[in-house]
Every structure is written in C-alpha cells, then in structure tokens.
Amino acid sequence: MPVSALVGLQWGDEGKGKIADLLAEKADVVVRCQGGSNAGHTVVTDNGAFSLRLVPSGIFRENAVCVIGNGVVADPIHLAGELKSLEGAIPDPSGRLFISDRAHMVMPWHKALDILAEEHLGQKPIGTTRQGIAPAYMDKAKRSGFRWHHARNAGEFRKRVLIILAEMNIVINALGGTALPEKETVDALCGAVDSLRPYIADTVSLLHGHHRAGKRILLEGAQGTMLDIDFGTYPFVTSSNTTSGGCVTGSGLPPASIAEVHGILKSFTTRVGAGPFPTEAPDAAAALLRGAGTNRWDEFAAATGRPHRCGWLDLVAARHSARVNGVTRLHITKLDILSQFDELRIAVAYRMRGGETSDLPSDIRDLDRCEPVYETLPGWKKQLPACKSVAELPEAARNYVERIGEFLEADIATVSYGPGRGQTAFTA
C-alpha cells in the first residue's frame, strides 16, 4: 500500500492537525517525522480540542499505530507530561505508540541553551518556541546527542546524563545563565525516561513490516516549508527539513514508497516568530484575520499562545513549497475566516531589484525589501454553508480556491471552513 505524506506549505500552523486527523481515519499507521515539541497540532474531536506537540495526530483513532520517528527530537519530560494530559481522552496508547530508538532527545540543557541563545540575540531574536530544538539538532549534527536507545539501560543513561549535565552547566554559566540543579534535573529526566522506556522500538523495522503487510501509512510533517532549514527563510527557520524529503529521512521509509504528498495551505498567511513576511497585512486587516475570541481556530499559536502575524495569501511562497514537496493533493484551510472581506488579495509575484519574479529569493534581505504584486478577487461576504462538497461553496469562494489550485498546479482535495471534523468540503 502506498505511503502518504502530509506537509505544511507556509510558516506552520496551517491546520495540519485537523487534516492529519481526517486522513488518520483511513490510516493504519501515523508517523511524526521531524521537529519536536515546537509543533502544536490542534485536533478537534467530539471530546473537545487538543493540542498535540509530540504525539502523532492518529492517537485519537483507536486502531492507528502511532510512531515518533527517528527524525524527531523528543523531549522525554515533555512527552511524559503530554501523555499524562491526554489520559482519558485517548484510547490506551500502550502497544500502539512507539518512539524510534534512533530519535534524539531534547535534554533540559537544550532548552536552557535555546533561551540563552535567544537572549544573546537581543533585539533580533529568531522567536523560537524555546523548546530546545536548535541545540538538540546541533548535538545530533555534532554527533554528541542522546538517542532514545541510550535510555534502554537506566544505570548507564543516568551516569552519562550526570557527566554531560556537569559539562553543560559550565557552558550555561559561561553564557550568563543559571546552572540546572543536578538532583532535580536528573530525577525529572530519568523519571520521565523510565515511564517511556516501554515505548522505545526499532521503528524502521516496524514501519517496513507494516509497509510490507500493505498497511496504510501517513507521514505527519510538522512546521511548514517556509520554516525548512534549506528551503525556508533562513535563518528565520527551524532546524530540520520540514518538507516531504524530511518525511523520508525522518521515518526510514524509502522515497519511492510515497505516492501522495498532501500539502496543507491556510487560505491566508500567518507566521509566529520573527523573520520576513512579504504579504504581512497592516494592523486592521491583520486583526480581522487573527480573529477575536478564544476558540482554537483563532490565530494564536497552539504551542506557545503567541499571537500570529497575519497577512494575505502568498502564492509565490506557496508555489515554491508545492514544488519542493511535490504536492499532489492540496488541502485549503480556514476559508471561513475570509468571509468577512469585500475583496481578497493574493500575491502572485514580487517586485524587487528593478524587476518582477515569481520565484522565492534565497536571501532574506530581498524578501524584506520586495513589494508583493497582488491579484484582487471578489469576496463572498456571507457565511459559508455547511456543505460536504466544494461545488456547493459560493461562486466567489470556489473561484478563490480554484485560482490557488491553478497557480500551484495541484489538485484540491479538501477545503475547510471550520475546525470541526464535519466542517470540510471535498472535491470528489
């Protein structure tokens, strides 16, 4: 059975949780492939809204096997807490949740170093989620990280943690931070690891077994393509490949096994954290896009609660994303938020260096200076109907999503007009 991948096409928070949950209904296995607890995938079930940070979105589907793949950097303390907070809301995860023995751990010192690095950037921080992501991937690349297989032997693990913690405390002190208390830190970390040890598995073997057995596998990407360390707005990115290529290296499934790449695109643009954002809207329009109130469909980061920066849809960025991922199925989310506008703007090119381009520049100085070239489309100015099919949407709404599909040269699979499972229109 072919494998499907799901990726974000913007700066994260595209609604991947909702679509992952939708696709998980027809998946036997759901795999998180990269990133860590910087993600916040919101899934709205009949029991309420949940923000998943490390646990794959398939966890709400009783029959789905859930895998935290080798490409993830997983914080044991966070993961133990997340599982605890889900108790009662999810079917028993034992025997169906697995953590790759090759995945790296985010350690307490990684979080401390992430915060110190941001503070050292002064007025120009990256705006990270402070989850220790970059320091954990730095240790991975430096070949000095802790992988989950290191936790199989509790005694050896504790011994090495004590040694590295002492070293890291010297670094933390030198950077002007406060050393982490030894006993508390080691006890919390080892306690979390003890509770998670039963989940550690050779997930490469496990996934290949499921693949050979014809099971349907969904690779759940996190973040978005514009946050990809190679293809995004470097250095205002995260520290992993958030693209479909990252789904391959982060799971151990071969590239040719992936038959469908689901690209998730919010019908406008948001970003949380610093960095270029050519179509960022002035305050009034941004406030409308951000939405008032407190429900989970609002533009406040699920992971950190920070308000999102909001703006018009940027199809230059989205097409770059669709290309590098090889998107075959497009899922457009949050169309309902646009119902309040008379006119809608979409950027189809950037004016820069005396010319126009519809390719995404690599240098953020160009992105900072460029002027978006907009197409203006009429709004529909009415509440979207509770429909099951895209054909039932008002004509102006249909035109809007069709223009997106045409520009990205990708087939539209679904259009979401609310956070609930039922608030989804399909093309077929």
* Residues known to be catalytic: 13, 41
Q: Which of 238, 251, 328, 333 binds ligand IMO (CB under 6 A)?
A: 238
* CA–CA dist 193, 154 (Å, integer): 8
134 binds, among Mg ion, ligand IMO, none (CB under 5 to 8 A by kind): ligand IMO
Q: Does 12 bind ligand IMO (CB under 6 A)?
A: yes
Pick the closest to residue 117 from 187, 52, 175, 179 (CA basis).
175
10 Å Cβ neighbour count for 295? 12
10 Å Cβ neighbour count for 174? 9
The least CB distance from residue 375 to ligand IMO, in Å, is: 26
The least CB distance from residue 11 to ligand IMO, in Å, is: 6
Kindly write out the interface string for residues 127-156 of this chain, putting x where it contacts ligand IMO by CB under 6 A and - elsewhere: xxx-x-xx----------------------
168 binds, among ligand IMO, Mg ion, none (CB under 5 to 8 A by kind): none
The least CB distance from residue 9 to ligand IMO, in Å, is: 11
Tokens (6 digits) for 242:
């958030």
Q: Does 52 bind Mg ion (CB under 5 A)?
A: no
Q: Which stretch binds ligand IMO (CB under 6 A): 124-132, 141-149, 344-352, 374-382?
A: 124-132
* CA–CA dist 339, 349 (Å, integer): 24
The least CB distance from residue 266 to ligand IMO, in Å, is: 10
Q: Does 13 bind Mg ion (CB under 5 A)?
A: yes
* CA–CA dist 26, 260 (Å, integer): 14
Q: How far is CA 230 from CA 10, 127, 234, 406, in A?
A: 14, 18, 7, 26
The residue of the chain with the least Cβ separation from Mg ion equals: 40
The least CB distance from residue 131 to Mg ion, in Å, is: 12
Residue 137 identity (one-letter amino acid): Y
Q: Closer CB to ligand IMO, residue 32 or residue 320? A: 32
Q: How far is CA 392 from CA 117, 340, 388, in A?
A: 50, 19, 8
Eight-class DSSP state of 26: T
* CA–CA dist 330, 425 (Å, integer): 12
The least CB distance from residue 304 to Mg ion, in Å, is: 9
227 binds, among Mg ion, ligand IMO, none (CB under 5 to 8 A by kind): ligand IMO
Q: Which stretch binds ligand IMO (CB under 6 A): 172-180, 221-229, 254-262, 287-295?
A: 221-229
Based on C-alpha coordinates, what's the Rg of the chain?
Answer: 21
Kindly write out the interface string for residues 73-112 of this chain, putting x where it contacts ligand IMO by CB under 6 A and - elsewhere: ----------------------------------------
Q: Which stretch binds Mg ion (CB under 5 A): 129-137, 257-265, 297-305, 356-364?
A: 297-305
Pick the closest to residue 68 from 59, 60, 353, 77 (CA basis).
59
Residue 398 identity (one-letter amino acid): R
Q: How far is CA 322 from CA 13, 75, 187, 276, 399, in A?
A: 16, 30, 45, 19, 20
The secondary element (H helix, E strand) that includes residue 375 is strand 371-378
Binding residues among 14-73 for ligand IMO as defined by CB under 6 A:
16, 38-41
* CA–CA dist 181, 170 (Å, integer): 12
145 binds, among Mg ion, ligand IMO, none (CB under 5 to 8 A by kind): none
Q: Does 13 bind ligand IMO (CB under 6 A)?
A: yes
* CA–CA dist 424, 296 (Å, integer): 16
The footprint of ligand IMO (CB under 6 A) covers: 8, 11-13, 16, 38-41, 126-129, 131, 133-134, 222-224, 227, 238-239, 272-273, 303
Q: What are the residues binding Mg ion (CB under 5 A)?
A: 13, 40, 302
